[in-house]
Structures are given as C-alpha cells and as structure tokens.
Chains A and B, each alone.
Chain A
Amino acid sequence: MTVMRSGSSRLSVAGEIMQYLTNTPIVWDRIAYLDRWAAQNGCGAVVTFVGVVRPDRDGQRTVHALFYEAYPQMAERLIQRLMDEARTHWLLDGVQIQHRLGLVEIGQTSVVVVVSARHRAQAYAASQFLVDGIKHEVPIWKREYYDDGTSQRITGTPELLDIADPSGADHAHV
C-alpha cells in the first residue's frame, strides 16, 4: 500500500526519492495522518512510537538540538527490509516509518514508527523490533548540539570518540 504524503515534499538523494527519510519536520498532523492510515484494513491495534529530542545534560552543557545524517540509499534499503520482516513475522496490516535527517530541535520528532495488527501483542512486539532495528542496524548518525555552542558526535561506542578526536575538542560545525 502506498501512503500519500500530506503537505511535505519528498527528499531526493542523487535522483532517488526517499520513502522513509525526510528533511522536513514531522509535525503532529503528519503523525495523526499515519495513525489514521494504519487504522484502516480492519486491524484491532495501532501502536505509534514517536521519538522526541530531549534536553539531555552533559556536564555543564545541555543538548538543544540533534543533527542527523545518513547513508541514505542504504538506510532506505534496510528500513524497507525491517518493515518487510515485521510485516511477515507479526502479520501486520500496516507499517510506516519516517526518520528525520538534518537539524531536529528539542521537543521535535526524530522518528515515527506506526504499526497496525489484529491484536496489541503483535503490534507492540513489531514496534519494538522496528525501533531497535533502526537504532542498531540502519546507517544513521547523530550529533548533539549544546547550549554553549559546542557539539559532539554520538556513538554507542564511546571510546571511539577518543580515537576519532584525541584532543577532545568539540566541533562547532557539522
């Protein structure tokens, strides 16, 4: 099933239209639209996960925005595969994913995962599988921007930051 986009232009990378990555803010109207779409097909449960940028503290500084970048073509391919796996495994009626790229400010949505299924257990499990898959497999990276004007890449492997930047200096620009 194809989801029509409401009021947002699609991201194009090297002539290829992105289905799941977007440069434009994911507003609540858009999330509600995906919810309504997923609730069709006679399903019994819709689970919507909304990832929101939070103002984490890091010592004296506080996060005020995240910047997301991706290997877009591969990210799209892996997201599509995760969706196909979830659809087959949990017999989903519908599944949609949108992930932001670029600068996302505190309180804004970074990712939306919507799944619909016959029963809630399937929908919950599929939602968790997809969010975990996005976090662990899909080539997307974030950088934290702080209120003191500094920034730092984020990685699940913290020692990597020391190897990448032994001086410990922060980058002021992306």
Chain B
Amino acid sequence: MDVRVRFFAMLRDAAGTEECQLALELGARGVEAKTTLVARYPRLDGLIDYVRLAVNQEYQPWEVPLHDGDEIGLIPPVSGG
C-alpha cells in the first residue's frame, strides 16, 4: 500500500523535500513508516524521535495502523503563537 508523507519545518530541512510517497507492507503501522523513512533519509535519524505523527491531519500514536492512501505528517515540536 502507498502513503503520502509530508515533512515540515526542520524535518523538511533534514529530508530535503516537502513530501514523498512511501510503499509499505499491508497492515504496516506508524513505526514501520518511521523505520522506512529513516532508511531512506538518514538525516532523520535522531530527529524523528522528537516528532509527533499525524495521520490524515490528526495526531496519532506511532502504533496506529496505516491504510492505503493515508496522508502522514511528521510534526516536529510546534512553535506558533
């Protein structure tokens, strides 16, 4: 199955891209996406431990099951206001 990954702020700096498509095994969870992303973008290593996962624009635990077509957002600590 394929998911769309969006990178923001310092995660975008580290990945060097705003988004990517990720092919995952059926039944994959957030953690598998995380592992796959670090393998593809080594500069995410370490950084990604501070990141909150969003799936379809909602915060989710990394254990959440993913589905084909999901939009994954990697959310580093926010600093609005």
What mask results when residues 38 to 78 of chain B are scored 1 for a CB within 8 Å of chain A, else 0? 00000000110010001001100000000000000101111
Q: Is B46 in contact with A163, judged by CB distance below 8 angstroms? A: yes
Nearest B residue to A79 via CB reads B80
A131 to B80, CA, bound (A): 9
Q: Are A71 and B54 also in contact (CB < 8 A) when A141-B9, A154-B79, A164-B10 are? A: yes
B1-30 residues at the A interface, CB under 8 angstroms: 6, 8-10, 13-14
A137 to B78, CA, bound (A): 7
A77 interface hit (Cβ, 8 Å): yes
Q: Is A142 in contact with B80, judged by CB distance below 8 angstroms? A: yes
Choice from B13, B50, B73 contacting A74 with Cβ under 8 Å: B73
Q: Are A71 and B73 also in contact (CB < 8 A) when A77-B57, A141-B9 are? A: yes
Q: Is B10 in contact with A131, judged by CB distance below 8 angstroms? A: no
Q: Which residues of A contact B54 (CB under 8 A)?
A: 71, 74, 139
Q: Are A139 and B81 also in contact (CB < 8 A) when A163-B46, A163-B47, A164-B14 are? A: no
Q: Is B80 in contact with A156, judged by CB distance below 8 angstroms? A: no
A74 to B60, CA, bound (A): 13
Q: Is A68 in contact with B77, judged by CB distance below 8 angstroms? A: no
Q: Which residues of B contact A163 (CB under 8 A)?
A: 46-47, 50
Choice from A77, A135, A164, A165 contacting B78 with Cβ under 8 Å: A135
Choice from B75, B77, B79, B81 contacting A71 with Cβ under 8 Å: B75
Q: Which label, helix, strand, loop or mixed, suits the secondary structure of the B interface?
A: mixed
Q: Which residues of B contact A8 (CB under 8 A)?
A: none
A110 interface hit (Cβ, 8 Å): yes
A73 to B76, CA, bound (A): 16
Q: Which residues of A contact B76 (CB under 8 A)?
A: 141, 155, 160
What mask results when residues 141 to 174 of chain A are scored 1 for a CB within 8 Å of chain B, else 0? 1100000000001111100110111000001000
Q: Which residues of B contact A (CB under 8 A)?
A: 6, 8-10, 13-14, 46-47, 50, 54, 57-58, 73, 75-81
7 CB-based A-B contacts, threshold 8 Å: A69-B9, A75-B80, A135-B78, A139-B8, A155-B77, A164-B13, A165-B10
